[in-house]
Amino acid sequence: MSYGLQFLNSGNSVVLDSEYARLCVIESGRYIPNATNGYGSITSFSRVVTSQNPPLVFVRPDTVAGIAQLGGMKILGSPGNWTGFYIGAYSQVGFKPNGRYFVSTFGAQPVASYGMRLWDGSSNLLFDSGTASATFTRAFQNWTFFTYELGPQGETRSYYVVDFNFTPDEYLLINNFGMNMCSGGPVPRSIYNWWDFSAGKLYAVTVAFANPIAFYLPAVFAKISV
């Protein structure tokens, strides 16, 4: 950068820069089973997220003895006025959505009553001392096809798995698990994710009437920086 502010940490990594936005945590908390007969969860943000692009929502289900199953994620609101998100269970049997989340954007919002703020040359707010930052920890797409089964309406359910050590501070980006995927027919593939804490495995489950074996959706993890 030719001018402005740049802050480096003891590892010589850029922590703050007046040209590039960091991944800022706008809100964090818990999601609970309060919709769809307890098999869905609607979380309303305490403040509207004002980014034009949908905010990134990271979730971590509570550690359970069985398998925590999630899917059907939707961001609620519209550009500049994102108000919350919905997340559901894989089915209305057994697991109900309980866990932690944080919502982030590339750029800050005016949250702090006092402290420091930093803007770029286009007057976009890059940093606010009232918001924490998030750090991407890892990403992978090396899923292994595990098995498949036929559903009650003739749909194919394909299961993919990867070994995963569930560290207590990592959250999964859930946005891409809320988007339908291309299938071999006119009906797209829906997608879900399962967390098997006891076995140390993360699953992806796709459902469609024409369900290809190929699956390359990345799983992206991040944590709140302290």
Which pLDDT score, from 0 to 100, does residue 2 have? 67
Which pLDDT score, from 0 to 100, does residue 60 have? 95
Tokens representing 116?
């420091």
When the pLDDT of each residue in the chain is averaged and rounded to a whole number, the result is 88
* Rounded mean pLDDT for each run of 10 residues along the chain, 226 residues in total: 70 71 90 93 94 94 86 93 93 84 90 85 84 90 93 91 93 90 86 92 93 91 88
Kindly give, in sequence order, each residue whose CB lies less than 8 Å from that of residue 153, ignoring residues fewer than 6 positions away.
none
Distance, CA of 34 to CA of 50 (rounded, Å): 25
Which pLDDT score, from 0 to 100, does residue 34 have? 94
Query: Can you list the positions of beta strands (E) in 62-108?
Result: 68-78, 81-88, 99-106
Question: What residue ranges do the domains of the chain occupy?
Answer: 6-136, 138-221
Which pLDDT score, from 0 to 100, does residue 85 have? 97
Which pLDDT score, from 0 to 100, does residue 1 have? 62
Kindly give, in sequence order, each residue whose CB lies less than 8 Å from that of residue 144, ignoring residues fewer than 6 positions away.
160, 161, 162
Which pLDDT score, from 0 to 100, does residue 3 have? 67
28 φ/ψ angles, rounded to the nearest 5 degrees: -145, 160
Which pLDDT score, from 0 to 100, does residue 6 have? 75
Query: Could you identify the residue written with the tokens 């925590």?
Result: 68
